[in-house]
């Protein structure tokens, strides 16, 4: 195996961290649709203006809060269904309707990332920021380096007692599916044989005990906004600094696009709009997407081979190529599936459009350490290892060079 040597040094990584610090210090958390997010996007565009031949800020609209609303709805509908089951009779039908709708909502919005209840929510403005560097000769392929810049609401279950996070999710999800099943069974029994219908009292007591967990679930998503340093402003800063690096080089036939999507935390809405708007151009030539998300520790770096809870495959050849590049640079980075319940990153939208895509993540997805900064109010720059940033930058750099000058 040929050992690769990158021209990107730790100073480049530190400059990306410094830019991340500056933007957070100036604008704070960047919830899509807020002035802070818009101004952060303007700052990123102004940075890209220094190195790119052209830049763009493309406005779109999305229903920011629809994606995670099912979490609060679970609590509300669980309580409503519990009351309906106690009341009995025709009320059991309402219990079945309430809980079934909650399950459908969660499956559509979170499991499959479909915009199911979005029309019911207020629209807000988002801005996809991008910069382009053209090659010296005819364009034969393009590479999109992406990383979203919006930050999420703080998740209370991650912010406090993080080691119990997965257990609490399992309990609340299990309780909700259980009351849904009971509600469907009870409504069927009432319709089929109302004279013999009766719900077991012990079951009612058990569901009542479940309120202890389900009412807490209403507060799972807080109104606080995370600083979002590792998730995911650092990746936007990496894109900016890579643009700066490649502005001094002359690529032969490869167009570089440095993309900072908005509204990733709202269910990939920004990347979806970008792909929708540019689909024809992206599909007209060979195009690749290297996406970065949640970069914290070098030891936790992974190449994803699937997205959207493991159901959308990413390009296998691209993953293997980047793994080889990483190994040649001295990094041993495994390939993994996005775990079910882990959600997705922006690369999913490119993959769905048939564009070879890869996502690099850098966080402990087990949460066993109890101090993962993801979706917390302690997601600050000091939680990001410069070596993790350096690895991402070097891998992206070498991938670009190899695509432009295939051996």
Residue 1 counted as domain residue: no
Query: Is the domain of 230 the same as that of 281?
Result: yes
Distance CA 303, CA 338 (A): 10
Residue 370 counted as domain residue: yes
Query: Is the domain of 216 the same as that of 133?
Result: no
Domain end residue (candidates: 174, 200, 221): 221
Residue 117 counted as domain residue: no
257: left (phi over 0), alpha (psi -120 to 50) or beta: beta
Query: Is the domain of 270 the same as that of 305?
Result: yes
User: What is the average per-residue pLDDT within 36-49?
Assistant: 98
Residues 199, 204, 210, CA angle at the centre, nearest 5°?
150
Q: What's the domain count of the chain?
A: 2
Domain end residue (candidates: 221, 236, 253): 221
- 62 secondary structure, DSSP code: E
pLDDT of 1 reads 54
**Alpha-carbon torsion 340, 343, 344, 349, what sign?**
positive
Domain end residue (candidates: 205, 221, 237): 221
Q: Which two tokens stand for residue 175?
A: 């309780």
Query: Is the domain of 263 the same as that of 326?
Result: yes
Strand partners, 292: 360
**Per-residue model confidence as pLDDT tens digits over 191-229:** 998 877 788 888 989 999 999 999 999 999 999 999 999
Residue 305 counted as domain residue: yes
Q: Which two tokens stand for residue 193?
A: 């044989």
Query: Is the domain of 205 the same as that of 312?
Result: no
pLDDT of 4 reads 78
Query: Is the domain of 287 the same as that of 169?
Result: no
Residue 5 counted as domain residue: no
Residue 354 counted as domain residue: yes
Query: Is the domain of 338 the same as that of 374?
Result: yes
User: What is the average per-residue pLDDT within 59-76?
Assistant: 98
Query: What's the CATH code of the domain at 21?
Result: 3.40.630.10
**What is the number of residues in the chain?**
407
pLDDT > 90? residue 93? yes
Pair 391, 300: CB distance under 8 Å: no
Distance CA 254, CA 259 (A): 16
Residue 172 counted as domain residue: yes
Residue 2 counted as domain residue: no
pLDDT of 3 reads 72
Query: Is the domain of 325 the same as that of 283?
Result: yes
Residue 81 lies in domain: 69-112+161-221
pLDDT of 285 reads 96
pLDDT of 407 reads 67
pLDDT of 193 reads 87
Query: Is the domain of 88 the same as that of 39?
Result: no
**What pTM, to 2 d.p., does this model score?**
0.95
User: What is the average per-residue pLDDT within 140-160?
Assistant: 97
pLDDT > 80? residue 2? no
Beta strands in 78-214 (DSSP E): 124-133, 141-146, 153-155
Query: Is the domain of 204 the same as that of 100?
Result: yes
pLDDT > 90? residue 34? yes
Nearest by Cα to 105 from 64, 74, 68, 70: 70
**Per-residue model confidence as pLDDT tens digits over 229-259:** 999 999 999 999 999 999 999 999 999 999 9
Query: Is the domain of 370 the same as that of 316?
Result: yes
pLDDT > 70? residue 365? yes
Query: Is the domain of 211 the same as that of 297?
Result: no
- 287 secondary structure, DSSP code: E
């Amino acid at each position: 195996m040929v050992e690769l040597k990158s021209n990107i040094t730790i100073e480049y990584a530190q400059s990306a961290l410094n830019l991340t610090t500056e933007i957070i210090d100036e604008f704070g958390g960047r919830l899509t649709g807020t002035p802070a997010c818009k101004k952060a996007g303007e700052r990123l565009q102004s940075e890209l203006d220094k190195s790119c031949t052209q830049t763009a800020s493309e406005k779109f609209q999305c229903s920011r809060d629809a994606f995670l609303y099912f979490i609060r709805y679970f609590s509300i509908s669980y309580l409503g269904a519990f009351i309906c089951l106690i009341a009995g009779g025709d009320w059991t039908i309402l219990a079945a309707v309430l809980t079934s709708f909650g399950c459908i909502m969660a499956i559509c919005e979170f499991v499959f990332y479909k915009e199911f209840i979005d029309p019911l929510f207020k629209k807000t403005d988002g801005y996809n920021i991008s910069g382009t560097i053209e090659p010296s000769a005819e364009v034969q392929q393009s590479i999109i380096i992406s990383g979203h810049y919006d930050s999420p609401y703080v998740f209370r279950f991650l912010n406090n007692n993080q080691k119990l996070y997965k257990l609490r999710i399992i309990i609340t999800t299990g309780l909700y599916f259980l009351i849904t099943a009971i509600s469907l069974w009870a409504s069927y029994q009432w319709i089929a044989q109302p004279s013999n219908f009766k719900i077991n009292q012990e079951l009612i007591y058990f569901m009542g005990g479940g309120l202890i967990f389900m009412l807490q679930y209403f507060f799972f998503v807080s109104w606080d906004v995370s600083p979002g340093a590792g998730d995911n402003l650092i990746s936007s800063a990496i894109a900016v600094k890579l643009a700066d690096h490649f502005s001094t080089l002359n690529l032969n036939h490869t167009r570089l696009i440095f993309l900072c999507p908005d509204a990733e935390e709202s269910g990939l809405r920004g990347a979806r709009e970008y792909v929708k708007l540019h689909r024809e151009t992206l599909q007209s030539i060979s195009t690749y997407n290297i996406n970065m998300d949640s970069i914290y520790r070098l030891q936790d770096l992974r190449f994803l081979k699937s997205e959207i809870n493991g159901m959308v495959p990413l390009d296998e050849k691209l993953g293997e190529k980047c793994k080889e590049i990483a190994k040649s640079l001295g990094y041993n980075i495994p390939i993994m599936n996005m775990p079910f319940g882990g959600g997705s990153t922006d690369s999913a939208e490119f993959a769905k459009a048939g564009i070879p895509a890869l996502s690099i993540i850098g966080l402990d997805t087990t949460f066993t350490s109890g101090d993962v900064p993801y979706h917390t109010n302690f997601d600050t720059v000091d939680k990001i290892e410069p070596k993790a940033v350096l690895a991402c930058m070097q891998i992206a750099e070498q991938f670009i060079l190899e695509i432009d000058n295939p051996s």
